[in-house]
């Protein structure tokens, strides 16, 4: 099966990671996975949520949103509807959990970092692009804190990247674009550390349920994708 943009099944899209895209944020990245563009901004706050005060530990949180015309047809604003949808909630929580996996809360001290991931243009894989870009923004924000001696040692204990995989027809594909995502029988998002462990595995049978060997093939593909993204993150940060 040929992919519409000519990639091989195990190939990710062209990825660009542009640091310092915003003037005000302590870390900011415009990350592009092909046609998907996500603006990731890291904000440092010298406080933690109420339930964590006095613990000596920091906190990382994330908020994901899509601009109304990032999508093919316009989507109503959640601010106008007056409530946040289930999908937005779910992805915000996923990004937060993923990034918390590479941070040492003790070294961070009682500080918080908020990662705002706003999708400017969507073409599949917005959540995995967001995680991959937000990691770089987070690294910059922690660098900013370390310069100001806001933390002791290095709070960044690993790196984190994410990629989608799926079965289209019967072929396992890496890094699905929008039309592939819509056509996929099975869709999986995998978040991995720079050292190759899993942080999050979320696989869903959109159509036909899948067996163990399919699952294994998808996990293999995801591992190569995350390794490649890890390499690109390192390159961007060096």
Phi, psi of 81 (to 5 degrees): -70, -20
CA–CA distance, 44 with 76 (Å, rounded to integer) = 30
CA–CA distance, 116 with 133 (Å, rounded to integer) = 11
Least Å distance between CB 133 and a copy of itself?
14
Contacts of 197 (CB under 8 A, 6+ apart): none
Binding to a copy of itself (CB under 8 A): which residues in 128-157?
Answer: none
Least Å distance between CB 103 and a copy of itself?
12
CA–CA distance, 151 with 153 (Å, rounded to integer) = 6
| Contact call for residue 71 and a copy of itself (CB under 8 A) | yes
| Contact call for residue 197 and a copy of itself (CB under 8 A) | yes
Give the range of 11-19, 48-56, 61-69, 128-136 binding a copy of itself by CB under 8 A: 61-69
Least Å distance between CB 12 and a copy of itself?
19
Q: Which is nearer to a copy of itself, 56 or 68 (CB)?
A: 68
| Contact call for residue 203 and a copy of itself (CB under 8 A) | yes
| Contact call for residue 11 and a copy of itself (CB under 8 A) | no
| Contact call for residue 227 and a copy of itself (CB under 8 A) | no
8 Å CB contact between 78 and 159: no
Closest to 159 in 3D by CA, of 137, 189, 126: 137
Least Å distance between CB 238 and a copy of itself?
23
Q: Is 179 annotated as a binding residue?
A: no
Handedness of CA 44, 195, 219, 182 (dihedral sign): positive
| Contact call for residue 196 and a copy of itself (CB under 8 A) | yes
Handedness of CA 94, 96, 99, 103 (dihedral sign): negative
Q: Which of 55, 56, 77, 154 touches a copy of itself (CB under 8 A)?
A: 77
Phi, psi of 5 (to 5 degrees): -105, 15
Q: Which of 111, 193, 230, 233 touches a copy of itself (CB under 8 A)?
A: 193
| Contact call for residue 84 and a copy of itself (CB under 8 A) | yes
Q: Is residue 81 classed exposed, middle or buried when 0-12, 13-18 and 19+ CB atoms within 10 A define those classes?
A: exposed
Q: What is the DSSP string of 135-189?
A: HHHHHHHHHHHHHTT-SSS-SB-S-EEEEEEEEETTEEEES--HHHHHH-SEEEE
Q: Which residues are annotated as a binding site for phosphate?
A: 87, 125-127
> Residue numbers of the site for a copy of itself (CB under 8 A)?
22-25, 28, 35, 39, 41, 43, 45, 63, 65, 67-72, 74, 77-80, 82-90, 92-93, 97, 101, 114, 116, 118, 120-121, 123, 158, 188, 192-193, 195-205, 208-212, 215, 219
């Amino acid at each position: 099966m040929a992919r519409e943009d000519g990639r091989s099944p195990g190939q990710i899209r062209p990825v660009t990671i542009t640091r310092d895209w915003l003037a005000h944020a302590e870390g900011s990245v415009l990350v592009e996975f092909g046609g998907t563009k996500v603006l990731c901004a890291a904000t440092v706050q010298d406080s933690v949520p109420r339930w964590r005060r006095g613990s000596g530990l920091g906190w990382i949180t994330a908020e994901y949103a899509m601009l109304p015309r990032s999508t093919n047809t316009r989507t109503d604003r959640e601010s106008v509807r007056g409530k946040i949808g289930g999908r937005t909630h779910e992805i915000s929580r996923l990004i937060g959990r993923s990034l918390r996996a590479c941070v040492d809360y003790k070294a961070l001290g009682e500080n918080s970092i908020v990662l705002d991931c706003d999708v400017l243009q969507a073409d599949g894989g917005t959540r995995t692009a967001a995680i991959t870009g937000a990691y770089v923004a987070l690294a910059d924000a922690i660098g900013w804190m370390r310069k100001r001696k806001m933390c002791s040692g290095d709070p960044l204990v690993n790196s984190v990247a994410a990629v989608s995989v799926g079965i289209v027809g019967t072929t396992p594909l890496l890094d699905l674009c929008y039309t592939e995502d819509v056509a996929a029988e099975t869709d999986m998002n995998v978040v991995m550390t720079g050292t190759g462990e899993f942080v999050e595995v979320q696989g869903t049978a959109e159509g036909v349920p899948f067996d163990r060997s399919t699952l294994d093939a998808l996990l293999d593909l995801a591992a190569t994708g995350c390794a490649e993204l890890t390499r690109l993150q390192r390159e961007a940060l060096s």
